[in-house]
Amino acid sequence: MGRGSVAVMHDPLPTFNNQPQLPMVKIVLCLVSFLVLAGLVMQLRQQHLDLSYQTNRLHNRIEAQQAKLWNQQLRIAAYTAPRAIIETVGQHQIDLVPATPLPPATRIVVSGTSEPRD
């Protein structure tokens, strides 16, 4: 270094605009983006699990209500079956007459035997 030359000191750490620092910034941005996306994916997965649980609970409640309704329909069918109606009318000595006369060839089944209707 001569008399007229001035020594220029370089900064030991490159500035933001220098090329060597740019890849590090890209890596940090990618890492931050990855962490944000991972958090969002985990949140979506948790929402999916919560919705699946709620759907399963509602499905079980619907099945329970449907079984209850089928049981009620079965009991109603048992009480309104022709044989049950005939037994009930016979036990209470109720004389019921059809609203319209039955045709002559109609048979009424009582206790397993068929009798012609006069």
Q: Tell me how long the chain is.
A: 118
Q: How far apart are CA 110 and CA 71, in angstroms?
A: 27
3-state secondary structure 20-48: HHHHHHHHHHHHHHHHHHHHHHHHHHHHH
Domain boundaries, given as residue ranges, for the chain: 19-92
For residues 102 and 34, the model is more confident at 34
Decide if 102 contacts 93 (C-beta within 8 A).
Answer: no
SS3 (DSSP) at 72: helix
Phi/psi-derived region of residue 12, left when phi > 0, alpha when psi is between -120 and 50, beta in every other case = alpha
Asked if the model's pLDDT at residue 14 lies above 60, the reply is no
SS3 (DSSP) at 53: helix
Q: Which pLDDT value is given to residue 107?
A: 62
Asked if the model's pLDDT at residue 30 lies above 90, the reply is yes
Q: Which amino acid is at 2?
A: G
